[in-house]
Amino acid sequence: MKKTFFFLFVLLSITLFAQDVKIKSLQTYINNVQTSFPVLTSPKDFLHIDFDVEAKYPPNLNIIFKFCDRNWNPTNNIFLLNQGQNTAFDLNFFYLPTTVEAAQYHYSNRFPDKLGYVSFPFSGKWRFYIVDSQDPSLIYAEGKFFNIRANQPLKTEIKKETLDKIFDPPQLGYVDWIIADANLMQEYFPFFVDDLEIIQNFLIDYPIVVSRNSTDPNRVFEWDGGSKLKFIAKDVRPGNEYRQVNLENINIYNSKNVTAHLDGIDYTRFFIRGKKDLDGAFELMSPKNINATYLNVTFQVEPPSDVYGDIYLVGAFNNWKVSNNYKMDFNGTFYEITIELKRGIYDYQYVVVNGNPNNPADLNWYILEGNDWSTSDEYNIFLWYRDQNYGGYDRIIGYSKIQTR
């Protein structure tokens, strides 16, 4: 009898703890503003993490926070592990409305948390991992954000210019010059200032980097031999306002399977100015809204006959990452893909790939979308320093944000 009871207990434990768990609609933003870029710039700021969970039972999850180098690699430096304040334990969930399909639970919390279990003491890039509480190596989802403790003033400006090359059509040569000047404080040594990193809107995985060792004529570093440094990026294309799909109207999107737009197919917008967007962000319906369910949304695009290559869908729903999971299928006339999205508003666009989708040089973000100086963009600009403390680490010492209109 005891053996039978033990067997049933083990079987029940496996059922409860080895269940299939899917994290959906993960959002990372600042100070309750869903559309904000995830950068903490003040001790008063807080990081908000929201997500839905598809699971049979409430899962046992933790969130682990790790400080990273400038390439998003988590540190192994024991002095930077932030032990004792790097994990949110035993996450609390609430039930989603029964009308919500494809997810059962929701999590929402802000960090640093009120109990002091999580803090971000270092200035730079951070990653978080949503993991199984019994097996931290089992990662269900992850996110990225910046924590800035910068005291180095950074003067930044933008100029409208054209690239020194003939383009057809000429609009492809329209660029923003982003210029950053720093007069280093006495505590910093010029030789340890390496890079200026520029992130356009939410393109975190495709930064514009101006290195002090750059040989690219469009990425310029200048130093007067003293404390004054200048970085210039001469090849920043403004692009177009993003396309947008709004799934909030339950009268228009009144079934499980829908197309992104009433007329179905998207076309090139190279010579068409887009409407005002969210600068690459997305907004979701409240998780307590009975209509905040998931839909199967089909995107379709018909490119001009002179556009060659594979087409990928990118947007706020996949962190603007060109991924094989979002490669569109060609049916002989147009390209299409169906993805699952929660009701909300999403910025998106199409990218033409000629070659390797993992090589930024093979990605064309503009041939279907256009490139216009009047586009509104947000640029987050970071000055990197090789700090010699704690055995040496990458640190952000200067930060600026520019919003173009």
Query: In the 8-state DSSP scheme, what is residue 267?
Result: -
Q: What is the mean pLDDT of residues 180-191?
A: 97
Residues 341 and 382 in one domain: no
Assess if residue 371 is contained within a domain: no
Q: What is the pLDDT of residue 8?
A: 42
Query: In the 8-state DSSP scheme, what is residue 359?
Result: -
Residues 232 and 247 in one domain: no
Q: Mark which of 112, 147, 182 sits at the end of a domain.
A: 147
Residues 195 and 82 in one domain: no
Residues 25 and 142 in one domain: yes
Residues 187 and 86 in one domain: no
Distance CA 405, CA 402 (A): 10
Residues 123 and 161 in one domain: no
pLDDT in tens, 315-346: 999 999 999 999 999 998 999 999 999 999 99
Assess if residue 188 is contained within a domain: yes
Residues 106 and 187 in one domain: no
Q: What is the CATH number of the domain that holds 101?
A: 2.60.40
Q: What is the pLDDT of residue 405?
A: 76
Residues 197 and 116 in one domain: no
Assess if residue 369 is contained within a domain: no
Domain containing 322 equals 243-364
Assess if residue 4 is contained within a domain: no
Strand partners for 40: 147
Q: What is the pLDDT of residue 18?
A: 60
pLDDT in tens, 92-118: 999 999 999 999 999 999 999 877 789
pLDDT in tens, 229-263: 999 999 999 999 999 999 999 999 999 999 999 88
Assess if residue 5 is contained within a domain: no
Q: What is the pLDDT of residue 19?
A: 81
Residues 326 and 303 in one domain: yes
Domain count, the chain: 3
In sequence order, the 6+-apart residues with CB closer than 8 A to the CB of 107 are 49, 50, 51, 52, 53, 61, 91, 92, 93
Q: What is the pLDDT of residue 164?
A: 87
Assess if residue 184 is contained within a domain: yes
Q: What percent of the chain has pLDDT over 90?
A: 90
Residues 120 and 178 in one domain: no
User: What token pair was written down for 234?
Assistant: 């001469």
Q: Mark which of 147, 181, 210 sits at the end of a domain.
A: 147
pLDDT value at 2 more than 80: no
Q: What is the mean pLDDT of residues 372-384?
A: 97
Q: What is the mean pLDDT of residues 370-394?
A: 97
pLDDT in tens, 16-64: 456 899 999 999 999 999 999 999 999 999 999 999 999 999 999 999 9
Assess if residue 226 is contained within a domain: yes
Q: What is the mean pLDDT of residues 362-377?
A: 96
Respond yes or no on whether the N-terminal peptide bond of residue 304 is cis (omega within 30° of 0): no
Q: Mark which of 88, 114, 147 sits at the end of a domain.
A: 147
Assess if residue 370 is contained within a domain: no
pLDDT value at 83 more than 60: yes
Which DSSP string corresponds to 193-238?
Answer: EEEEEEEETT-TTS-EEEETT---TTEEEEE-SSSEEEEEEEEE--
Residues 143 and 29 in one domain: yes
Burial of 282 (0-12, 13-18, 19+ CB in 10 A): buried
First to last CA, the chain: 75
